[in-house]
Amino acid sequence: MRKLALYIIGTSLLFSSCSKYLDKDPIGILTQEQVQVDPTEGTIVAAVENAYRPLAYTLNIFGNWDWTGGLVIRPDFLLEDIASGDAAKKWSPDGDQAWMDDIANYNFTAENGAFAGIWKYDYEGISRTNMAIFQLTDESTLSKVNMPEDKRKQLLAEAYFLRSFFYFDLVKNFGDVPLVLKPLQDFNEAYDVAVKTDKAKIYEQIKSDLIIAVDYFPNSKYSNSSEKWRASKGATIALLAKVALYEGDWKEVIKQVNSLESLGYYSLNINYFDSFDESKTYNESENIFIYDHEPGKQPSRGNGFTALMGWGFMAPSTDFLAAFETGDPRKSATVNTADKAIYKLVGAQNTSFIGNDNSPVNRVYIRYADVLLWKAEALIRDQQVAEGVKLINKIRQRARGENTNILADHSVLENDASTAIKWLQQERRVELGLECHRLSDLRRWGIAKITLSTLGKPFEDKHMLYPIPQAEVDKTVGKISQNPDY
Q: Burial level of 461, CB count in 10 A (0-12/13-18/19+)?
A: exposed
**DSSP H or E run through 336:** none
- Nearest one of 87, 66, 68 to 78, comparing CA atoms: 87
Residues 229 and 207: their CA atoms lie apart, in Å, by: 22
DSSP state of 146: -
Q: How many residues does the chain have?
A: 486
Rounded CA separation 234/49 (Å): 19
pLDDT of 344 over the 50 cut: yes
Give residue 142's pLDDT. Answer: 94
What is the C-alpha to C-alpha distance for residues 88 and 72, in angstroms, rounded to an integer?
18
Question: Using an 8 Å Cβ cutoff, are 126 and 167 in contact?
Answer: yes
Contact (Cβ atoms closer than 8 angstroms) between residue 67 and residue 97 = yes
> In which region does residue 15 sit, left (phi positive, over 0), alpha (psi from -120 to 50) or beta (all else)?
beta
**How far is 329 from 404, CA to CA, in rounded Å?**
12
Question: How confident is the model at residue 16, as a pLDDT?
Answer: 29
Indicate whether 477 pLDDT > 90: no
Distance between CA atoms of residues 83 and 246, nearest Å: 19
Per-residue H/E/C for 397-435: HHHHCCCCCCCCCCCCCCCCHHHHHHHHHHHHHHHCCCC
CATH 1.25.40.890 domain range(s) in the chain: 1-216
pLDDT computed for residue 191 by the predictor: 78
What residues contact residue 261 under an 8 Å CB cut-off, 6+ apart? none
CATH number of 1-216: 1.25.40.890
The neighbouring-strand residues paired with 289 are 366
Give the closest residue to 61 by CA, choosing from 358, 364, 289, 306: 358
Angle at 404 between CA 402 and CA 407, to 5 degrees: 110
The rounded distance, in Å, linking the Cα atoms of 464 and 173 is 8
> Can you tell me the distance from the alpha carbon of 12 to that of 34, in angstroms, rounded to the nearest whole number?
13
Query: What would the pLDDT profile of 275-321 be if each residue is shown by its tens digit?
Result: 999 999 999 999 999 999 999 999 999 999 999 999 999 999 999 99
Confidence of residue 30 (pLDDT cuts 50, 70, 90): very low
Give the CATH number of domain 247-292+366-455.
Answer: 1.25.40.390
pLDDT band for position 189 (cuts 50, 70, 90):
confident
Query: Could you report the per-residue pLDDT of 381-412, keeping only the tens digit for each?
Result: 999 999 999 999 999 999 999 999 999 999 98
199-214 residues labelled b (16+ CB within 10 A) or e (exposed) = beebbeebbebbebbb
Helix (H) or strand (E) holding 254: helix 250-263
Confirm if 103 and 78 have CB atoms less than 8 A apart: yes
pTM of the full structure: 0.93
290 pairs with which residues across the strands? Answer: 364
Average pLDDT, integer, range 110-118: 98
Beta strand spans in 263-415 (E):
287-291, 313-316, 363-367
> Phi first, then psi: what are they for 170, rounded to 5°?
-65, -45
pLDDT classification of 34: cutoffs 50, 70, 90 = very low
Q: How confident is the model at residue 36 (pLDDT cuts 50, 70, 90)?
A: low
Q: Where are the beta strands (DSSP E) in 306-384?
A: 313-316, 363-367
Q: How far apart are CA 483 and CA 395, in angstroms?
A: 38
H helix or E strand, kind and range, residue 87 = strand 87-90
**Is the pLDDT reported for residue 178 higher than 60?**
yes
Decide if 445 contacts 432 (C-beta within 8 A): no
pLDDT of residue 186: 74
d(CA 486, CA 467): 6
Collapse the DSSP code of 301 into the 3-class scheme (helix H, G, I; strand E, B; otherwise coil) and give the result.
strand
Averaged pLDDT score across all residues of the chain:
92
Q: CA–CA separation, 451 vs 85, rounded Å?
A: 9
